[in-house]
Amino acid sequence: MTDFQVTILGNGSAVPTAFQNPTAQLLRYNQHKFLIDCGEGTQMQMIKYQVTHKNLSHIFISHLHGDHYFGLIGMISTFHLFGRELPLHIYGPGPLEQIIKMQLKASDTRLKFSLLFHALRDTETLFEDKHLKISCFPLYHKTPTWGFLFREKGKERNLRKNFVAHYTPGIEQMHRIKQGDDFILSDGTVLKNADITLNPSIPKSYAYCSDTAYDERLIPFVRSVDLLYHEATFDNNMTVIAAEKFHSTARQAARLAAKAGVKQLLLGHFSARFSEPSHLLEEAREVFENTLLSRQGETYVL
Ligand SMILES: [Zn+2]
């Protein structure tokens, strides 16, 4: 059973409040942990919600507005004090490397682990293994900003237990059957693949779009994803401000979700002016019914 889930550590916009931390999310995929954005106080949120940084090897920073990365230097410093040895990959806009290195240099901090920076470019694959692919794509904000797409790869077919127990195929044969081959007995009898295997579970996908103006150029990147996190900084009365600031309203997020045919929409990046953003959910659901309001500390399973 695959473990694919995202925990919201912060879903507020630029100004923190008593109830909303700036943006950060922890995405788990089996043994991997990926941090998406790292607003101020993210490590405190991880402690609060009992999310450990064990196995956290990759951090993706969408853009260089402070509410998306001001927690990074603090987290790196803590890793250093804990004696971390595991290399840390950081993906973000090009200047991020210089910013972090300058902060470390000023305090004469010599890290015991490797910090590996990767400057984001247009659209590219950032991480890939046998099961998962992570890519970035451009968002439309006041400064260069990227969204991230986590897409599970197609899975192998599952062997039926009674077939394996009865015919005891070898490892190589099992591998080929999982890829779709039939099984041929020594007397030439053919056991059809469909009779000796079960369908694999359907690959899942998660897309992250924060911060961005409403822009239909995002649709090809997020089309049909299982869960789309899209910013909803403002409400229906603030469409003009949203456009000026290159942010979205809840209804615009819902429109994009509907046009892209996603399965579920998760709203976040709420303006500090909304102490309770439930009206954003109502506005979004008028356009796209399968919408949720993200809640800090909640985990959403794919
Ligand atoms: Zn922001």
The 3-state DSSP class for residue 111 equals coil
Query: Do residues 205 and 225 make contact, with C-beta atoms less than 8 angstroms apart?
Result: yes
d(CA 94, CA 175): 42
User: What's the angle, vertex CA 290, arms to CA 132 and CA 285, rounded to 5?
Assistant: 135
pLDDT tens across 214-245, in order? Answer: 999 999 999 999 999 999 999 989 989 999 99
What is the mean predicted confidence (pLDDT) over 164-191?
A: 90
The CA 152 to ligand 1 mean position distance, Å, reads 27
The upper half-sphere exposure of residue 175, i.e. CA atoms within 13 Å in the direction of its Cβ, equals 3
pTM reported for the whole predicted model: 0.91
- Tokens 């290195």 found at: 101
pLDDT tens across 61-73, in order? Answer: 999 999 999 999 9
Alpha-carbon dihedral sign for residues 54, 55, 57, 59: negative
The CA 63 to ligand 1 mean position distance, Å, reads 8
Tell me which DSSP letter residue 135 carries. Answer: E
Query: The tokens of 261 are what?
Result: 């045919």
The CA 230 to ligand 1 mean position distance, Å, reads 12
Q: Residue 151: its pLDDT value, please?
A: 97
Angle between the 96-106 and 72-81 helix axes, to the nearest 10 degrees?
50
pLDDT at 1 exceeding the cut of 80:
no
The CA 13 to ligand 1 mean position distance, Å, reads 5
Q: CB under 8 Å to 125, separation ≥6 — which residues?
A: 133, 134, 135
Q: Residue 156: its pLDDT value, please?
A: 84
Active-site annotation, residues = 67
Query: Do residues 281 and 291 make contact, with C-beta atoms less than 8 angstroms apart?
Result: yes
d(CA 127, CA 54): 19
d(CA 37, CA 71): 9
The CA 24 to ligand 1 mean position distance, Å, reads 10
The CA 93 to ligand 1 mean position distance, Å, reads 15
d(CA 258, CA 223): 10
Around ion ligand 1, residues with a beta carbon closer than 5 Å are 67, 211
Mean of all residue pLDDT scores within the chain: 94
Identify the H or E element spanning 231.
Answer: strand 227-231
The CA 205 to ligand 1 mean position distance, Å, reads 23
pLDDT tens across 54-97, in order? Answer: 889 999 999 999 999 999 999 999 999 999 999 999 999 999 99
Strand partners, 299: 7
